[in-house]
Structure 1
């Protein structure tokens, strides 16, 4: 194996200074030291990303608090059993089945119409809503053999891929109903926790560390056209802090709880 010229010069200087025994010791070259610094920085970035994910979960698990009084925000539409099915002998069976394939849609209009342009004029058309058509994997896992008898196979193409789905064969058993969409609770917000998360996100974005993290996680960048603007004036962060200091701050925030 051919060594670099700088390695020979360094070995000669070391041998002259410390003797021939210095060759038996593990002395790193400048290139190895630089590579170790990069590896150590990558480990710190991954740890910072790990701590940030813990903060995300902590913010998500803060819980809810009731709103007094609740307020209405548009309308919601979902499927319910028809009257004759709800009073029949198989009402419980179809009610349990409906819970697995039901869908809920939201709109600001009670009639659930959407505005489209037709022949140069704006018209309101009825918005369609269908039951769920589970895929093959979820269908076999979550539906009993008796429930599977009410479905038929259908191949669908989505995003360029064909996949098998199972469609309910008796949709006439259900009907749509519209109700006010009431907001009766809101998430609990911790201002200090939200501020720490936002500052950390801005720090990673400002220094273009998100690109490096994406490569460390998946081995490649997820978006080819992603660009980071380090001169953005909208991002405000402390220039004196580095990655180890952010790690210490996040760790102290987590240990306080």
Structure 2
């Protein structure tokens, strides 16, 4: 009777060899990660679709600042044109102080400088996009400007409104009249899924499988947290497995 090795016996039988088993385990794990991304997107879509609820007693939260027509322009014959244009290029800023100043360090001292606010500028891609709502007459009031970007080390093209003096800033109280509906079950599912992805440190793998590349972001944790507190992460893993079993 001849002696056969394990690999030779696997080749002439219906059993899978060790390499095929490892490949199947890897493919199954990758399918599981892709399913996690789909589940995560679905849960966040449900969260974003939650309706707003009207508050019985509105409250003020800081201040808001936006542009309005200047008084003499509002009384002119072209007021309707510039009012319609303002709806497309208006911007808003929010602050806790009415002065709208931000802390800035200068010569090792903290000073307060006023925040800069301008009407909306369009990038070159936005300007050529079919989704742009500006009419031909409104486009005539913009000029092309090239500005150096120190981060990208190149010039960026922007289309800027050439008559900003027609609008002035107005500061009003920021009143909160609506709040988002609270769904405790949905928020718990999002939290469990997020903890599972972070604790297993698979965000990098999911991005590479779904998007084709892996990007680094401060929002996502890159360090494996299981090296810090394995007891906590073990409980999170068991909690997620129980959650998956209930969904199935």
Short-chain TM bin: 0.7 to 0.9
Quote the residue 2:141 is aligned against. Answer: 150
TM-score normalised per structure 1: 0.80
Quote the residue 1:3 is aligned against. Answer: none
Quote the residue 1:112 is aligned against. Answer: 100
Quote the residue 2:194 is aligned against. Answer: 201
Query: CA separation in 1, counterparts of 2:208 and 2:237?
Result: 24
Matches within 5 A, 1:102-141: 102-118=90-106, 122-140=110-128, 141=130
Correspondence 1:70 to 2:58: yes
Contact 1:136/1:166 (8 A) holds in 2 = yes
Quote the residue 2:42 is aligned against. Answer: 54
* Range that drifts further, 156-165 or 56-65: 156-165
Deviations 1:189-216 (A, max 9, x none): 1111111211121112112222321221
Quote the residue 1:184 is aligned against. Answer: 177
Contact 1:59/1:189 (8 A) holds in 2 = no
Structure 1: tracts of 5 or more residues without a match: 1-7, 16-21, 253-257
Quote the residue 1:213 is aligned against. Answer: 206
Contact 2:226/2:233 (8 A) holds in 1 = no
Correspondence 1:167 to 2:164: no
Quote the residue 1:240 is aligned against. Answer: 238
Quote the residue 1:230 is aligned against. Answer: 226
Query: CA separation in 2, counterparts of 1:11 and 1:123?
Result: 74
* Range that drifts further, 122-131 or 163-172: 122-131
Q: 1:94 offset after TM fit, Å?
A: 1.0
Deviations 1:60-97 (A, max 9, x none): 11111122211111111110111121122222211111
- Structure number with larger C-alpha Rg: 1
* Range that drifts further, 218-227 or 196-205: 218-227
Contact 1:78/1:178 (8 A) holds in 2 = yes
Structure 2: tracts of 5 or more residues without a match: none
How many aligned positions are there?
235
Query: CA separation in 1, counterparts of 2:182 and 2:234?
Result: 22
Query: CA separation in 2, counterparts of 1:209 and 1:86?
Result: 57
Q: 1:239 to 1:110 in 2, by over 3 A?
A: closer
Q: 1:120 offset after TM fit, Å?
A: 6.2
Quote the residue 1:4 is aligned against. Answer: none
What SS does the aligned partner of 1:28 have? coil
Quote the residue 1:41 is aligned against. Answer: 29
Query: CA separation in 2, counterparts of 1:9 and 1:219?
Result: 40
